[in-house]
Amino acid sequence: MALKDLLLALVVIIAWGLNFVVIKVGLQDIPPLLLGALRFLLVVFPAIFFMRRPQVPWRWLLAYGLTLSLGQFAFLFSAMAVGMPAGLASLVLQAQAFFTLLFAGLFLGERLRRVTLFGLLLAAAGLALIGLQGGEGMTLAGFLLTLCAASMWALGNVVTRHIGRVDILGLVIWGALVPPVPFLALSAWLEGPAVMEQALRGISLDSLLAIAYLAFVATMLGYGLWGRLLARYPATQVAPFSLLVPVVGIGSSALLLGERLAPLQWVGAVLVMAGLLINVFGARWFGRLRAG
């Protein structure tokens, strides 16, 4: 990979890793479902007027928007609002890689390799340690909601795989047409019109900057650069960079929010990362061992 593209990958990793700290900042003044609505409203307008709709049937755009956009972020924002630390959220959300394997097997008929299954079990053990630790800084509800967010991301991955090769940024922007109305409806139902009005009337500069970051940096810049890298290089060469997102997430949350992991959570984090590494590189390593 060229040095310029390595730097672009680094920009994406930092943008997505810092994303979790920014979500915490936004949630200080804005309830989670309203924050989701504002994020995607800003993604859609005015970008949709300058971006050609990808050649995807509307039903699959709807499926993409309901899973990756609405489902993932409704659960993730709610999780962080009820006590999921930013750093741990960035790590636990990577369970999407393993939910994707399970859903791909269930819906697409893809078979699990033994080495991949081992990585899945290792990461599951790590997630169990993190969940059992609980205690200061993390609630069980936050942990479970983050796993729900990971499962919705994984369903979105299966939808994306079904759609096939397409302009990723265009798919993200047109898919963002779907979530604003459901987000607003859910916010009105679960958070209440009075809370929504109070949040909008008292919105702070920090919250406005957080919404702008979520829309333009984490979504449009991040997915735009990621799509550019996927267009130039094989997915197997690009995908491993996402393993660094939790590293940035945990590091930035410790530096900027003062979050700390308990010893057992560190063990769980190591197991999850080891499982992810085996998932990405295990087949290649196993092939080399057999060839040697």
pTM given for the model: 0.89
Q: Please, what is the average pLDDT of the chain?
A: 87
In tens, the pLDDT along 162-189 reads 888 888 888 888 999 999 999 999 999 9
Is the pLDDT at 119 greater than 60, yes or no? yes
Average pLDDT over residues 121-132: 83
Q: Supply the range of the domain harboring residue 273.
A: 3-291
Is the pLDDT at 225 greater than 80, yes or no? yes
In tens, the pLDDT along 87-106 reads 999 999 988 888 888 888 78
Structural domains counted in the chain: 1
| For helices 245-257 and 263-291, angle between their N-to-C axes, nearest 10 degrees | 160
Compute the Cα dihedral for 151, 153, 156, 162 and give only its sign: negative
Is the pLDDT at 285 greater than 70, yes or no? no
Is the pLDDT at 135 greater than 60, yes or no? no
Classify each residue of 1-37 as buried b or exposed e, where b means 16 or more C-beta atoms within 10 Å of its C-beta: eeeebeebbeebbbbbbbbbbbbbbbbebbbbbbbbb
Closest CA to 157 of 228, 108, 225: 108
In tens, the pLDDT along 31-43 reads 999 999 999 999 8
> End-to-end alpha-carbon separation of the chain, Å?
27
98-102 long-range contacts, CB within 8 A, separation 24+: 98/123, 98/124, 98/154, 98/275, 98/279, 99/150, 99/151, 99/153, 99/154, 99/155, 100/153, 100/154, 100/157, 100/158, 101/279, 102/154
pLDDT of residue 182: 97
pLDDT of residue 133: 67
Is the pLDDT at 292 greater than 60, yes or no? no
Q: What is the dihedral of CA 238, 266, 289, 233, to 10 degrees?
A: 0
Q: What percent of the chain has pLDDT over 90?
A: 47
